[in-house]
Structure 1
Amino acid sequence: MMKETVDKTTRAKSRKRLKTAGERLVFYVAVMIITAIVIFPFLWMVLASIKTNAQVLDPQQFLIFKPYWGNYKDVFGRYDFVKPIINSAVVGVGSTLIGLLLGLPASYSIARTKMNKLSTMVLIVRFFPGIAFLLPWYMIFEKIGISDTHLALILSHLLINLPFIVWVMIPTFESLPADLEEAAKIDGCYTFQAFLRIMLPLAKPGIVTASLLSVIFSWNNFMFSLVLAGGKTKTLPLALLSFISYASIDWGALMAAAVTITLPILIASVVLQKHIIAGLTAGAVKG
C-alpha cells in the first residue's frame, strides 16, 4: 500500500515537471518568435545600409553580400546630414527643457492638490491630433516673423510635449510621501525649496522617462517640420525626403540615414533603461 502511494506521488510529480517544462518551452518559443518579428525590420535596415541599391533589391544577397560603406559617406557628404542632426537636437532638447521647466511644477501641484479633473483635461489635450494646430501655428508664426526658425518648431513641439510631461509626472509625484515635504518645511524650507531640494531628486526616474520620450517625439516628428520648417531648420525626418526622387529611391543611403537617426535614441534607451522602467511604473504600487 505504501509503495503504491509513493508511486502515485512520484508519477504526479513527474507529470507536473513535464507540464512545467512544456509551458516553459512554449513561452521561450513564443518569446523567440516575437523577438525575431521585432528585430527583423531593424536588422534589414542595418544590412541594407551597407549595400548598393542592386544588392538591396536582390533577395539572394540578404545575408551574404560584399559590404559597401559608401552610403554613410554619401549621407554626411552629398546629402549634408549634419545640419538636420543639429536642428533636430536643438528642437528636441529645447522643447524638452521648456516642457520640464513648466511641466514639473504643474504636475507637482496637481498631484499634491488632488486635482483629478485637471489631470484628465491635460490628458485630453495630449490626445488632440497635432495636425489640428498646424494652420493656426503657421498663421501666427508668419504674423510675428518667426517662421522657419528653431523657436517655431520648439513651440509647436511643446504643445504636445508639455501635456505628456505633466501626465507622466503626476503619478510619480503622487507616489512620493507628503511627509518628506512636511519635514522639509519644519526644517525651514519653503514649498518651492522643498520641491527643488527634496522632491525633484526623488522623482529622477520619472523625469528621465518624460525627458527621453519627449526628445524621441521631437526627434521623429515629421508633420510639424513639413509645414513649419524650411531650408534653415530642416530636421532629420524631413531630410529623409532628399533620398527619394521622382524616378528612383536611393535605398542604401536612405537606410544609412535611418540607422543614423535610430542609433542615438537606441543607445540612450539602453543606457537609461532602468530609469525608464522605474519612471513608467511610478505610482503603480502605493503604501
Structure 2
Amino acid sequence: MKQSMAAKITKAILVIIILAIFTSPFILMFLASFKTQSQIMSADNLFNFTPTLKNFVTVFQEHSFFKYMLNSFIVATGAVGFALLIGLPASYAIAKYQLQGLGVVILIVKIIPGIMFLVPWFMLYSNMGLVDTYTGLILSHMLIALPYIVWIMIPFFESLPREIQEAGLIDGCTNVQVFTRIVLPVAAPGYMTCSLLAFIHSWNNFMFSLTLSGNDTKTLPVAMFNFMSYAQIDWGAIMAAATIIVLPVMLLALLTQKYIVSGLSAGAVKG
C-alpha cells in the first residue's frame, strides 16, 4: 500500500513538472498581453502588475485583426476542406490496394522543405494572377494539409476490418457507396484528428502567407509580424496577437480531445 501511494505521488509530481514546462510559455505570453512595454521588459513585474487592455485595443482597432482572423479562417478551412476531398479517397485507395509507392511519393513531398516551392509558386502565381488571392493561399496550404491527412488515414483505413467492406459489397453497394456510407462514418475519429492537425498547421503557417498574400488576404502570423520594426518591437501587441492566434486552436483542441485520442490510437495498430 505504501509503495502504491508513493508511486501515485511520484506520478503526480512528474505530471505537474511536465505541465509546468509545457504550459509556462503560454502562461507568460498570456500575462504579458496585459502588461505595458516597460512591465514586460522588467523581471520584477512577472506576476505583480496592474492589467491593461491597451494591447488588445491596439491589435483590434489600429491593425484590423478581425479581418486577418477571417482571412486565416477562410484559408485554413478551405485548405483542409479540399485536402479532405482529395486525401480521404487517396488514402483509402492506398490502404485498400496497398499502393505503397504512391504513399512514399506523398511522404517525400512532405519531407521536402516548403521554402523550395516558394519561388516557383510565386512566379507561377504572378503569371496566373493568384498572388494575394484566397485561391492561391488555399492551394499552397494544401501542401501542408494533404500529407497530414493521407499519412494519418492510411493506417486508420488499414486497421478497419475488411469484413465490413465486403459485407457492403455483398449487399449490393458499389465501391464508392462502401466508402461513403460505411467506411467514412466509421473513420470519423481519424479524419477529425487529421483535420484538426492540418487546420492548426495551416492556421499557424507564416512562410507561404508572407510570400503569397497581400493586403487583402494577409493572415494572422503575417499581421503579427507587422508589430516588429527596425526601431522598436511592440512586445505587448505581439503578446496580445499571439494570445488571439493561440486561443481558438487551443479551444478547438480541447473540445475535440476525445476524438483526437481515439483517432490516433485507432490508427496506430492494425486490427
Match of 2:189 in 1: 205
Q: Per the alignment, in what secondary structure is the counterpart of residue 189 of structure 1? A: coil
State the TM-score, normalized to the length of structure 2: 0.96
* Residue deviations 1:75-110 (CA, integer Å, cap 9, x gap): 110111111111111110001000000010010011
Q: Aligned residue pairs: how many?
A: 271
Counterpart-to-counterpart distance in 2, 1:237 and 1:162: 21
Counterpart-to-counterpart distance in 2, 1:115 and 1:224: 30
Q: Per the alignment, in what secondary structure is the counterpart of residue 243 of structure 1? A: coil
Offset of 1:24 from its aligned partner? 3.5
The ranges of structure 1 where at least 4 consecutive aligned residues each deviate by more than 6 angstroms after the TM superposition are none
Counterpart-to-counterpart distance in 2, 1:32 and 1:25: 11
Selected match of 1:277 from 257, 261, 271: 261
Counterpart-to-counterpart distance in 2, 1:281 and 1:125: 25
* Residue deviations 1:152-211 (CA, integer Å, cap 9, x gap): 111111122212211111111111111111111222211101100111010001110111
Counterpart-to-counterpart distance in 1, 2:131 and 2:270: 46
Whichever residue aligns with residue 225 of structure 2, its letter is L
Say yes or no: does 1:163 pair with 2:126.
no
Q: Per the alignment, in what secondary structure is the counterpart of residue 226 of structure 2? A: helix
Q: Per the alignment, in what secondary structure is the counterpart of residue 51 of structure 1? A: coil
Counterpart-to-counterpart distance in 2, 1:22 and 1:183: 52
Counterpart-to-counterpart distance in 1, 2:122 and 2:229: 27
Counterpart-to-counterpart distance in 2, 1:141 and 1:117: 30
- Within a 5 Å distance, the mapping from 1:133-148 to structure 2 comes to 133-148=117-132
Match of 2:179 in 1: 195
8 Å CA contact 1:51, 1:67 repeated in 2: yes
8 Å CA contact 2:155, 2:270 repeated in 1: no
Structure 1 residues without counterparts, runs of 5 or longer = 1-16
Say yes or no: does 1:261 pair with 2:268.
no
Whichever residue aligns with residue 135 of structure 1, its letter is V
Match of 1:77 in 2: 61
Selected match of 1:221 from 190, 197, 205: 205
Whichever residue aligns with residue 161 of structure 2, its letter is P
Counterpart-to-counterpart distance in 1, 2:25 and 2:130: 39
Offset of 1:275 from its aligned partner? 0.6
Match of 2:78 in 1: 94
State the TM-score, normalized to the length of structure 1: 0.91
Whichever residue aligns with residue 99 of structure 2, its letter is M
Whichever residue aligns with residue 246 of structure 1, its letter is Y
Selected match of 1:113 from 75, 81, 97: 97
Offset of 1:19 from its aligned partner? 4.1
Q: Per the alignment, in what secondary structure is the counterpart of residue 48 of structure 2? A: coil
Name which one, 1 or 2, has greater alpha-carbon Rg.
Answer: 1
Counterpart-to-counterpart distance in 2, 1:218 and 1:206: 18
Match of 1:5 in 2: none
Whichever residue aligns with residue 260 of structure 1, its letter is I
8 Å CA contact 2:190, 2:263 repeated in 1: yes
CA RMSD, 1 decimal: 1.4
Q: Which moved more, 1:215-224 or 1:277-286?
A: 277-286
8 Å CA contact 1:123, 1:164 repeated in 2: no
Identity across matched positions, percent: 49
Whichever residue aligns with residue 137 of structure 1, its letter is W
